[in-house]
Amino acid sequence: MRKNPVDQSRLAAQVILNVRSGRATSRRGLAEALSVSPSTTGLYVDELVKAGLLRETGLEQGKMGRPKRRLSTVPGAGWFAGLEFHAGRVQAARVDFSGRLIHSQSFALPANPTTRTVMEQLREAVAWLAGRSPGRMLAIGVGAPGVVDPKNGTGLHYSFIEDWRDVPVAEELGFEFGVRVTLENNLRVIALAERWFGDGGGLANYIVLGPRRGFGVAIVNEGQLLGGAHQAAGEVGNWWWPAGGAMREMHDELSAPAVWRRLAGAAETEKLPADLHQALALVARNSAREEVVRDFAKVTGWLQLLLDTEAFILHGPLTALGDSFWNEVSEETARLMPRLAARQPRITCSSLTDNAGALGAASLAMEAWQPSS
């Protein structure tokens, strides 16, 4: 095996990820996927089997020919914790070593929570996950709202928690639980949830559309999350948006609350319904539908021209508008931008539920974890 421990751990982690995802489940398949020699691959597989992280079946000789061997991960080898939060609640998920959801739970936060309150609830959520069943926790992933610094594991700013500034989330949780903690923006971890649990499986390029209170997107490009030079990639809600001659931003017209007001004919000062998802379903076919479809078609068209993605996956309350609405958006995109007719973007409503962020955070931990060399 390689002498450099860092390289050794990194390659071992790649072996596990390929087996876990099903992309490569044989020694030969791994050698091809990782572009390493079969002999080197065999050494890594042997070590990981010995460590109890992988298992190999089909070793027995069949009636004819060579036995067909198949590699798989060992579900009980450990587990990953995923935490995702905003100003109203914390979501937590526990995923086993094979990437299967074992437990999930939502924890409400008090009104106007402080940083201290949030960090305490994150700790309690991890403790809750650990107490559900035995097993070794390997790593923690956190999906945080607002602007984050993934490299240093710091939450930089979030408007809806007043004192959320430069919070060393990874450092504090890592000290508390003694495992590696990885932090990312919460919409980006949802993109990872789509890779492991949703419609992004098998796709190298896709975009998660997240029109909620604001409007952001998470971009997966050639299999990698795109953060940008300032970790601000995907803040499309801040695009300048012409509306009746006024200087506005795109989220003023296409966030989930804004779309409900447009479809319902409600004033900007009108109180939002308690169940926005249900309210949107009730107004999905109102008279402003065509105009809203056209506006979303512009956005998806611009993104498609810029990034040439394979699919758009929608999250949030606007999934209530239904598949027919988003099919119309896709068709209108091709009509407005004829060059896209041959590569008309596919828009699907996510099949994941409210725990998508926590699942994505667990996926973040799972992808970042490396076995000790």
Give the pLDDT band of residue 59 (cuts 50, 70, 90): low
373 lies in a domain? no
Helix, strand and coil percent figures for the chain, each rounded to 5: 45, 25, 35
Helix (H) and strand (E) counts in the chain: 12, 17
Domain with 149, as residue range(s), is 77-194+356-368
Same domain, 62 and 88: no
214 burial type by CB count under 10 A (0-12 exposed, 13-18 middle, 19+ buried): buried
- Domain end: 54, 73, 92, which one? 73
Same domain, 121 and 43: no
Determine the pLDDT at residue 62. 53
The 10s digit of each residue's pLDDT in 318-347 is 999 999 999 999 999 999 999 999 888 789
Enumerate the β-bridge partners of residue 141. Answer: 82, 182
Give the pLDDT band of residue 86 (cuts 50, 70, 90): very high
137 lies in a domain? yes
What DSSP assignment string belongs to 132-178?
A: HS---EEEEEEEESSEEETTTTEEEE-TTSTT-EEE-HHHHHHHHHS
Q: Where residue 45 sits, what CATH number does that domain have?
A: 1.10.10.10
Chain centre to alpha carbon of residue 85: 13
Same domain, 281 and 173: no
The mean pLDDT of the chain is: 94
* pLDDT above 70 (res 230): yes
- Domain end: 58, 73, 88, which one? 73
Same domain, 284 and 326: yes
Determine the pLDDT at residue 7. 87
Same domain, 113 and 170: yes
C-alpha to C-alpha distance for 93 and 141, rounded to whole angstroms = 10
The 10s digit of each residue's pLDDT in 124-174 is 999 999 999 999 999 999 999 999 999 999 999 998 999 999 999 999 999
Same domain, 179 and 282: no
What DSSP assignment string belongs to 285-331?
A: TSTTHHHHHHHHHHHHHHHHHHH--SEEEE-SGGGGG-HHHHHHHHH
315 lies in a domain? yes
Same domain, 233 and 183: no
Q: Where residue 138 sits, what CATH number does that domain have?
A: 3.30.420.40
Domain count, the chain: 3
Structure-token match 């979030």, residue found: 158
Give the pLDDT band of residue 63 (cuts 50, 70, 90): low
How far is residue 142 from each of residues 170, 187, 293, measured CA to CA in Å? 8, 11, 34
- Mean pLDDT in residue range 269-297: 96
